[in-house]
Amino acid sequence: MSTKNIYFYHFFLFTFYAQYIMFSSGGNMKLSEWRKKQKMTQVELAEKLGCTKGHLSGVERGAIQAGRKMILNIIEVTGGKVGFKDLT
Q: Which of 76, 41, 71, 48 is nearest to 59 (CA)?
A: 71
Q: Which of 17, 30, 10 is nearest to 68 (CA)?
A: 17
**Rounded to an integer, what distance in angstroms lies between the CA atom of residue 3 and that of residue 18?**
22
What average pLDDT does the segment 34-46 reach? 96
What's the half-sphere exposure (Cβ side, CA atoms, 13 Å) at 66?
A: 29
- Model confidence at 14: pLDDT above 70: no
Q: What is the pLDDT of residues 60-73, one digit of tens each?
A: 988 988 888 898 89
Q: Where are the domains of the chain?
A: 3-87
Q: Please tell me the predicted confidence (pLDDT) of residue 25.
A: 47
| Second-level CATH architecture of 3-87 | Orthogonal Bundle (1.10)
E strands in 1-88 = none
What average pLDDT does the segment 22-26 reach? 49
